[in-house]
Amino acid sequence: MTRAAGPALVLALIVLLAGCGSSTSSSGGATPTSSSGNASHFLACEVLTDSTLYDKSFNEATWNGLQQAQKDFGIKIKYTTAQSPSDYQPNLVAAHAHGCDLIFAISFTYGDLVAKEAQSNPHQHYAIVDYSYSPPNQYPNVRQLVYATDQAAFQAGYLSAGMTKTGKIGTFGGQKQPPVDLFMDGYVEGANYYNHVHGTHVQVLGWDPKTQTGLFTGDFTNEAKGQTTTQTLMGQGADIILPVAGSVGLGTVAAVRAAGKGAVIWVDSDGCQTDPGDCKFFLTTIEKHMAPGAYDTVEKTLHGHFQGGLYTGTLKNGGVGIAPYHDWASKVPARLQSEVAALKPAIISGKIKISQWK
Amino acid sequence: MTAPAVAVQRISAPIPWRRYAIGVLYLALAIFVFIVCGLHTLPRTDTTITFNGNNYGALPGLMVPTGVFNTLLAVVLAFIGGAQLANLGRAAWLLGLALFIFVVAFMVWAARGNTLDVVNVAESSLLSSVPIAIGALSGVVCERAGVINIAIEGQMLTAAFISTLMGGLTGNVLVALASGILAGALLGWLLALLSLKYAVDQIIAGFVIDVFATGFTSYLQVSVLEVHPEVNASGQIPNVGLGGLSNVPVAGPLVFGNNAYVYAMVVLVFSIHIALYYTRWGLRARSVGEHPIAAATVGINPIRIRYFNVILGGALAGLAGTFFTLGATGRFDSTMTSGQGFIALVAVILGGWNPIGAFLAALLFGFAVSLQTILGIFNVNIDPNILSMIPYLVTILAVAGIVGRTRPPAADGQPYVQE
């Protein structure tokens, strides 16, 4: 062996190992309880925009719905992670090529890509979360699941404004995009409404619904950034924090744990269920019921009743809502609890117009 | 008749356009600060400045009338512009001072009608600078001995992954820390092997390690950590709370109640500085970095020194990498180091290949990150996507503008081949 072969071998080995980039994982073959005909051949696929499926929040919620469907109908399910935006389109194409019967694209970011794919594969069923086309029925093979999270966030903002000890509450997002901004809009508007009702001056740091500017960490994965961002927010006075940033919010939990004070408003899936060890830090969760949405879509598609078009989850149809207070139930005054509960019918009936409280 | 005039022009010094341009820029900044940050808040808006750190509300702060304060700062900026035009004082100092005053004015304006906690800003800058500073120490240790370590990013990422995995498997934070450092050292050894034994171009070898680390950790994250999410929990190194001292105003939270990595960073910066400049090892390492052949003629083994330094540098980068997991939430995510290893390299250059200089440069980047957060918190009417560019803009400005020409070790990046 010549001298030159040494480094060549080392480099070749490195390149070989590095070649294993993004990949897909599947889990199938669960015991079906009520297998109907072709259910065991039905494949539902979840396509992500990042690499963390178990984020205790956004990505995990849809996956929970698919897992429930797997349990109940005996279908097969699969997910695909992405390492960078350049993976998005190839992953969508691959999901179609692998024979997925239903493809869930989990993010606003997939809007244009799914539209393009849906046009070229008219017989493939797609579902996209957080994005709607106008008009919604221009792509009959795409079901668009969007959620009016500002309605539930309004309740959470009102609650936080009633619970703060410093007179300041805070919020930040992962990336600035409409579904993230919507949470923050509702949160600030709810706090403003509290100020109006009670004559207080609670401030929300990190978002201004009028100018649509505020605090963002830059992505949905950098938890260390979430932690330092939360520390800064708390140092500037906010004691209740709403992170709208997927797993970055776990950095907020870590910061609140270290500070030994304050509370977190979690998003998407009830924090006390996805992250029970940290339940005492979650004042409540602004729930976006993506799991039932995913389950329902699978069920309909499986039975041949796939419906394209738009579904909007609201307080009225139970698509959004706030979670129980769990560990905080005894700390939230009864009067505040009933005020927050009373907001729901008022929002549904239109008595309170949330966008008016910008 | 024109000939004598030309001759006179030749004799006089060339017009210092650069100096004038920068002076005018300062004057423009002064006008900007006066109009945007001063004038429009003049009637009656106050910024409250507090010094409480993480003990929000412990002590009342100073009420500063925003408009008056910033008008004063604008006047100071105008003076700096004048000094620059008249060539008084060192240009680099004037630039630093002008930028500092501009940033202060902007922050006070952003927090108008609100409370700005200065100690908290300092704390968060310090915390954000940890991986950059320790990563930069890795760069200094390697480059002083003549090896460019561009693999810092990859070493950090791998260490973050390994520390999470080992912490999750054993449940022991110290094992996690040690294995992370070891993983960094191992990649340091790989870089040394490629660049010293096989004389592969150091930049290419380092870059290959970065690419390898990204692919390797992403693949294992998907195939191991996602399948067994219970392993994706390294645990955390607890905050060092030095008892009641952390409740002392101003200095308390900053000096006595911090993340353990902040202390590690400060200790390492000074001990490596002393080791490099006041010990036998430091002298030998620097001589190998400047002129390995001369060092070899007096009996020093350049290859051995370089091996040692590159492995030590890898271990330091490994320590920096564990900050992302053990110093934060304890969870790994692919590409979570987000390019900070490369910013560490910029800090090496900006700091003039000196540990303390690199530390100060890292603090500047940490402050840029913290500034971005502060401007976001006070809802400054700037698109958040532009705000998130601040740390990188500072990087480019630092490299292009402030540094000017710096002098790397003479044999930096040069292979040493024994005759």
> For B143-192, how does the pLDDT look when each residue is reduced to its tens digit (9 = 90+)?
999 999 999 999 999 999 999 999 999 999 999 999 999 999 999 999 99
Q: B229 and A236 in contact by Cβ < 8 A?
A: no
Predicted confidence (pLDDT) per residue in B317-364, tens digit: 999 999 999 988 888 887 788 889 999 999 998 888 999 999 999 998
Query: Is the per-residue pLDDT at A272 higher than 60?
Result: yes
Q: Which residue has the higher pLDDT, B380 or B279?
A: B279
pLDDT of amino acid A218: 86
Mean pLDDT is highest, among A57-61, A267-271, B10-14, for A267-271
Q: Which amino acid is at B326?
A: L
Query: Which residues in chain B are contacts of A3 at CB distance < 8 A?
Result: 198
Q: CB of A178 within 8 Å of any CB in chain B?
A: no
With contact defined as beta carbons under 8 Å apart, do B331 and A223 qualify? yes
Query: Is the per-residue pLDDT at A274 higher than 60?
Result: yes
Compute the distance between CA of residue B222 and CA of residue B214 in angstroms, rounded to an integer: 12
Compute the distance between CA of residue A54 and CA of residue B223 in angstroms, rounded to an integer: 13
- Return the bridge partners of A205, or none: A170
Average pLDDT over residues B400-405: 62
Residue A20: pLDDT band (50, 70, 90) is: very low
Query: Is the per-residue pLDDT at A15 higher than 60?
Result: no
Minimum CA–CA partner of A251 in chain B: B329
Q: Which residue has the higher pLDDT, A219 or B295?
A: B295
Out of A23, A234, A235, the one facing B219 most closely (by C-beta) is: A23
With contact defined as beta carbons under 8 Å apart, do A259 and A234 qualify? yes
Q: Which residue has the higher pLDDT, A133 or B55?
A: A133
Q: How many angstroms separate the Cα of B298 from the Cα of each of B278, B288, B291, B382?
A: 19, 11, 11, 60
Q: How many angstroms separate the Cα of B333 from the Cα of each of A170, A231, B161?
A: 25, 21, 8
Residue B257 within a domain:
yes
Compute the distance between CA of residue A281 and CA of residue A288 in angstroms, rounded to an integer: 19
Q: CB of A172 within 8 Å of any CB in chain B?
A: yes
B74/B184 same-domain check? no
Intrachain domains A23-147+291-313 and A149-288+318-357 with the same fold = yes
Residue B417 within a domain:
no
pLDDT of amino acid A11: 52
Coil/strand/helix, residue A82: coil
Q: A247 and B381 in contact by Cβ < 8 A?
A: no
Compute the distance between CA of residue B106 and CA of residue B375 in angstroms, rounded to an integer: 9
Mean pLDDT is highest, among A283-287, B101-105, B236-240, for A283-287
Residue B256: pLDDT band (50, 70, 90) is: low
Query: Is the per-residue pLDDT at A276 higher than 80?
Result: yes
Q: CB of B208 within 8 Å of any CB in chain A?
A: yes
Those of residues 263-322 in A touching chain B at CB distance below 8 A are none
Residue appearing with tokens 């070749």? A12
Q: How many angstroms separate the Cα of B209 from the Cα of each of A161, B150, B218, B325?
A: 50, 9, 14, 21
% of chain A at pLDDT higher than 90: 69
Please give the tally of structural domains in chain B: 2
Q: CB of A252 within 8 Å of any CB in chain B?
A: no
Out of A23, A176, A205, the one facing B377 most closely (by C-beta) is: A205
Give the side-chain half-sphere CA count within 13 A for B97.
Answer: 18
What distance in Å separates residue A251's CA from the closest CA in chain B?
6
Which has the closest alpha carbon to B377: A186, A217, A212, A215? A215
CB pairs under 8 A between A and B: 184
pLDDT of amino acid B132: 95
Out of A7, A18, A229, the one facing B198 most closely (by C-beta) is: A7
B102/B167 same-domain check? no
B218/B74 same-domain check? no
Q: Which of A42-56, A97-111, B196-210 has the lowest mean pLDDT?
A: A42-56
Q: Which pairs count as long-range contacts for A330-337, CB under 8 Å and 24+ apart, including other chains?
A: A331/A163, A332/A159, A332/A162, A332/A163, A332/A283, A333/A162, A336/A159, A336/A162, A336/A163
Q: B54 and A235 in contact by Cβ < 8 A?
A: yes
With contact defined as beta carbons under 8 Å apart, do B166 and B403 qualify? no
With contact defined as beta carbons under 8 Å apart, do A194 and A169 qualify? no
Q: CB of A55 within 8 Å of any CB in chain B?
A: no
Q: A52 and B333 in contact by Cβ < 8 A?
A: yes
- Return the bridge partners of A146, or none: A312
Minimum CA–CA partner of B154 in chain A: A18
Query: Which residues in chain A are contacts of B376 at CB distance < 8 A?
Result: 172, 206, 214-216
Q: A237 and B115 in contact by Cβ < 8 A?
A: yes
- In this structure, what CATH number is given to the domain that contains residue B247? 1.10.3470
B102/B194 same-domain check? no
Query: Which residues in chain B are contacts of A218 at CB distance < 8 A?
Result: 388
Residue appearing with tokens 């396509």? A47
Compute the distance between CA of residue B223 and CA of residue A51 in angstroms, rounded to an integer: 11
Would you kindly state where each structural domain of chain A is located, as residue ranges?
Answer: 23-147+291-313, 149-288+318-357
Those of residues 356-375 in B touching chain A at CB distance below 8 A are 369-370, 373-374
Q: CB of A226 within 8 Å of any CB in chain B?
A: yes
Residue B274 within a domain:
yes
- Average pLDDT of the residues of chain B: 86
Query: Which residues in chain A are contacts of B236 at CB distance < 8 A?
Result: 254
Average pLDDT over residues A15-33: 46
Which has the closest alpha carbon to B402: B411, B393, B413? B393
% of chain B at pLDDT higher than 70: 90
B80/B178 same-domain check? no
Question: Which of B222, B372, B382 to probe by mutation at the A interface, max A CB count within 10 Å?
Answer: B222
Compute the distance between CA of residue A35 and CA of residue A73 in angstroms, rounded to an integer: 5
Compute the distance between CA of residue A186 and CA of residue B246 in angstroms, rounded to an integer: 37
Out of A20, A53, A235, the one facing B117 most closely (by C-beta) is: A235
pLDDT of amino acid B58: 73
Query: Is the per-residue pLDDT at B247 higher than 80?
Result: no
A288-309 in b/e form (b: 16+ CB < 10 A) is bbbbebbbbbbbebbeeebebe
Residue A24: pLDDT band (50, 70, 90) is: low
Residue A26: pLDDT band (50, 70, 90) is: low
Residue B216 within a domain:
yes
Residue B397 within a domain:
yes
Q: A6 and B198 in contact by Cβ < 8 A?
A: yes
Q: Which of A221-230, A234-243, A333-342, B199-208 has the lowest mean pLDDT?
A: A221-230
pLDDT of amino acid B257: 62
Q: Which residue has the higher pLDDT, A15 or B108?
A: B108
pLDDT of amino acid B194: 94
Residue A22: pLDDT band (50, 70, 90) is: very low
Minimum CA–CA partner of A167 in chain B: B57
B70/B169 same-domain check? no
Question: Which of B331, B365, B370, B381 to probe by mutation at the A interface, max A CB count within 10 Å?
Answer: B331
Average pLDDT over residues A107-133: 93
Give the side-chain half-sphere CA count within 13 A for B24.
Answer: 6
With contact defined as beta carbons under 8 Å apart, do B189 and B351 qualify? no
Q: CB of B212 within 8 Å of any CB in chain A?
A: yes
Q: B226 and A81 in contact by Cβ < 8 A?
A: yes
* Cα maximum dimension of chain B: 91
B64/B129 same-domain check? no
What distance in Å separates residue A20's CA from the closest CA in chain B?
6
What distance in Å separates residue B228's CA from the closest CA in chain A?
10
Q: CB of A170 within 8 Å of any CB in chain B?
A: yes
Please give the residue range of the domain that contains residue B372.
Answer: 119-402
Of 3.30.1360.170, 3.40.50.2300, 1.10.10.10, 3.40.190.10, the CATH number of A149-288+318-357 is 3.40.50.2300
Residue B416 within a domain:
no
B68/B174 same-domain check? no
Q: Where are the beta strands (DSSP E) in B5-81?
A: 46-50, 62-65
Q: Which residue has the higher pLDDT, A52 or A47?
A: A47
Out of B115, B324, B335, the one facing A236 most closely (by C-beta) is: B115
pLDDT of amino acid A84: 82
Predicted confidence (pLDDT) per residue in B57-95, tens digit: 777 778 888 888 888 999 999 999 888 888 877 777 788
B206/B291 same-domain check? yes
Q: Which of B44-58, B127-141, B358-372 has the lowest mean pLDDT?
A: B44-58
Compute the distance between CA of residue B109 and CA of residue B303 in angstroms, rounded to an integer: 55
Residue A213: CB partners within 8 Å, gap ≥ 6?
A: A207, B379, B380, B381, B382, B383, B384
Compute the distance between CA of residue B239 and CA of residue B216 in angstroms, rounded to an integer: 31
Average pLDDT over residues A281-309: 93
Q: CB of A243 within 8 Å of any CB in chain B?
A: no
Give the side-chain half-sphere CA count within 13 A for A269.
Answer: 22
**Listing from the earlier edge strand, what are the strands of the sheet with A309-313?**
A24-27, A76-80, A43-47, A102-106, A125-129, A142-147, A309-313
CB atoms inside a 10 Å sphere around CB A212: 16
Query: Which residues in chain B are contacts of A166 at CB distance < 8 A?
Result: 56-57
Does the predicted model carry a pTM greater than 0.90? Answer: no
Q: Which residue has the higher pLDDT, B246 or A234?
A: A234
Q: Which amino acid is at B80?
A: I
B250/B323 same-domain check? yes
B33/B134 same-domain check? no
Q: CB of B124 within 8 Å of any CB in chain A?
A: yes
Residue A5: pLDDT band (50, 70, 90) is: low
Tell whether omega for the bond before A333 is within 30 degrees of 0, i.e. cis.
no
Average pLDDT over residues B114-126: 87
With contact defined as beta carbons under 8 Å apart, do B324 and B344 qualify? no
Compute the distance between CA of residue B92 and CA of residue B127 in angstroms, rounded to an integer: 27
Please identify, among B63, B93, B113, the residue that sits at the C-terminal boundary of a domain. Answer: B113
Out of A18, A229, A253, the one facing B211 most closely (by C-beta) is: A18
Q: Which of A247-251, B383-387, B401-405 has the lowest mean pLDDT?
A: B401-405
Of 2.40.30.10, 2.60.40.10, 3.30.70.100, 3.40.50.2300, the CATH number of A23-147+291-313 is 3.40.50.2300
B168-201 in b/e form (b: 16+ CB < 10 A) is beeeebebbbebbbbbbbbbbebbbbbbbebebe
Residues in chain A: 358
Compute the distance between CA of residue B171 and CA of residue B219 in angstroms, rounded to an integer: 23
B275/B311 same-domain check? yes
Please identify, among B67, B91, B113, the residue that sits at the C-terminal boundary of a domain. Answer: B113
% of chain A at pLDDT higher than 70: 90
